Amino acid sequence: MRRNVALLAIMTLIVLQSVTTWAEGSSGTRVSALLAVSAEGAGDLSMGTPEWVEALQGALSEATAKHADGLKDLGTFTICEVAHNAPVYLHTGSKLAWNIKFDGAKAVASVGELPAGECDLKIEGDHSLMSNAGRIQYHGNDPALIEKAQARLRKVGRWKIEGSFPEHKVLGAVLRSVHDTMAARTYPRFVWMSPEWVETARILISERAKEFPYGIADVEFLFNEVFTDPPAFAFPEGGDSGFWVHLNHGEISVGYGVAPEEFGKVNYYNQALFTPVVPVGRTVDAAMTDADSEGKAAYSKAAFGVDMGEKKLRRQLDKKPFPPGLGRVFGDLHDDLSLRSSGELPSDYDDSVRNEWATPYAFDRTDDYDPSWLRYDEFDIYGDPR
């Protein structure tokens, strides 16, 4: 079988030329091509879970029924995808896998990995990168931007591909339709507190402000969390990471980093070192076992107790209580953002991390997490050489 370039583009694994993933915005900030071509919203399912595969089957059934006549001559075709470094909160081990078996116009999606010998095509990669590739929306988007987003994901990950697609245009249309349907359902997974992660926070907070408008119409409040000394592979431009939320009488703004001075005094300010705090920051509390909770509690005290010296004194601000209305908007935000956070640690790609912050913890990720599925030792998260 010959490799079908259009279909490989659907799977985000086509070898593309090296291109710049970011462009300068009008304000001088960088604009993510990946975000520009991603589906709207923040998804509602983690890629590869039984619930996600069930939704995949629904999308497949709809698309194959629409194109039944064009698939009659397809014969059989089997594809399997394996996502390594699955989120620990799923308690499924280090990987998730699913497969699709076509027989003409009939397609069955199932949970589980198949041997390469039983597949016409088998693809393996990092779960976070595969999730973000799965978010790309093809219909209606600029192919050049799609190529930029794909090039970045291709470059920063280690991918294993065995086999190829058949030369079949209708199959391509079906898979493209299914991919776009699932793009809106799939969680993105970005580096904790990165600009793209903050964009996910903006989506969630903005949606909740519309869902819970009571108690925020007559309130002004400024929230800011700042995490200093973030790792260079994920924050190549330097500076502090974090995010701020400004509530101004019912209108909510969300931004990356330190809150602009034009908003005035911060009402609730939290500051800590990025590296020790990241394992705590991305835990999904609702899914933790008793052992996870105990481990997190023991670790958190030390992680947040790091002496930051003068940096701790940079801004002396009170932590005022959240207005009840804003509290409702922030409800479960920690867990919802953690569901959408990737699992790498700074120590995976930076030998200078202190030993006490270089040890993975069971409450944060699986014991057999394999950092080699990401290439952040060679490239930053945007695909630029380090």
| pLDDT 10s digits, 224-277 | 999 999 999 999 999 999 999 999 999 999 999 999 999 998 999 988 999 999
Q: How far is CA 204 from the centre of its chain?
A: 14
Cα–Cα distance between 200 and 340 in angstroms, integer? 8
Cα–Cα distance between 150 and 143 in angstroms, integer? 10
Position 365 scores a pLDDT of: 94
Q: Please, which pLDDT band fits residue 199 given cuts at 50, 70 and 90?
A: very high
Q: Dump pLDDT digits (tens) for 1-49.
A: 333 333 333 343 322 222 223 333 323 345 699 999 999 999 999 999 9
Domain boundary among 183, 213, 230: 183
Residue spans of beta strands (DSSP E) within the chain: 22-24, 30-32, 76-84, 95-103, 106-111, 121-126, 160-163, 220-228, 241-248, 251-256, 268-273
Do residues 150 and 224 both lie within one domain?
no
User: The domain containing residue 141 runs over which residues?
Assistant: 5-183
Tokens 């402000």 locate to 209
Position 305 scores a pLDDT of: 79
Residue at 149 is within a domain? yes
- 322, 316 contact by CB (below 8 A): no
Q: How is 97-126 classified by DSSP, letter by letter?
A: EEEEEEETTEEEEEES---GGG-SEEEEEE
Do residues 20 and 52 both lie within one domain?
yes
Do residues 113 and 243 both lie within one domain?
no
Q: How many CB atoms lie within 10 A of CB 24?
A: 10
Do residues 48 and 79 both lie within one domain?
yes
Tokens 């990241």 locate to 278
Do residues 112 and 223 both lie within one domain?
no
Q: Dump pLDDT digits (tens) for 150-159.
A: 999 999 999 9
Q: What pairing do the DSSP bridges indicate for beta strands 106-111 and 95-103?
A: antiparallel
Domains identified in the chain, total number: 2
- 178, 108 contact by CB (below 8 A): no
Residue at 384 is within a domain? no
Do residues 102 and 18 both lie within one domain?
yes
Task: Using alpha carbons, list the distances in angstroms from residue 340 to 43, 129, 325, 335.
Answer: 9, 12, 24, 9
Do residues 141 and 210 both lie within one domain?
no
Q: In this prediction, what percent of the chain has a pLDDT beyond 90? A: 84
Q: Please, which pLDDT band fits residue 318 given cuts at 50, 70 and 90?
A: low
Position 30 scores a pLDDT of: 59
Q: Please, which pLDDT band fits residue 220 given cuts at 50, 70 and 90?
A: very high
Position 328 scores a pLDDT of: 95
Do residues 346 and 228 both lie within one domain?
yes
Residue at 188 is within a domain? no
Is the pLDDT at 313 greater than 50? The verdict is: no
Do residues 172 and 283 both lie within one domain?
no
The helix-helix angle for 50-66 and 169-183 (nearest 10°) equals 140
List phi, psi (to 5°) of 19: -135, 160
What's the pTM? 0.91
What residues are paired with 269 via a beta bridge?
224
Domain boundary among 153, 183, 213: 183
Amino acid identity, residue 299? Y
Query: Would you put residue 41 in left (φ > 0), alpha (ψ -120 to 50) or beta?
Result: left
- Distance in Å from the first CA to the final CA of the chain: 38
Is the pLDDT at 281 greater than 50? The verdict is: yes
Q: Would the CA dihedral through 202, 203, 206, 208 be positive or negative?
A: negative
Do residues 210 and 313 both lie within one domain?
yes
Position 14 scores a pLDDT of: 29
Q: Which residue has the higher pLDDT, 168 or 305?
A: 168
Do residues 236 and 310 both lie within one domain?
yes
Position 320 scores a pLDDT of: 86
Residue at 215 is within a domain? yes
Do residues 178 and 202 both lie within one domain?
no
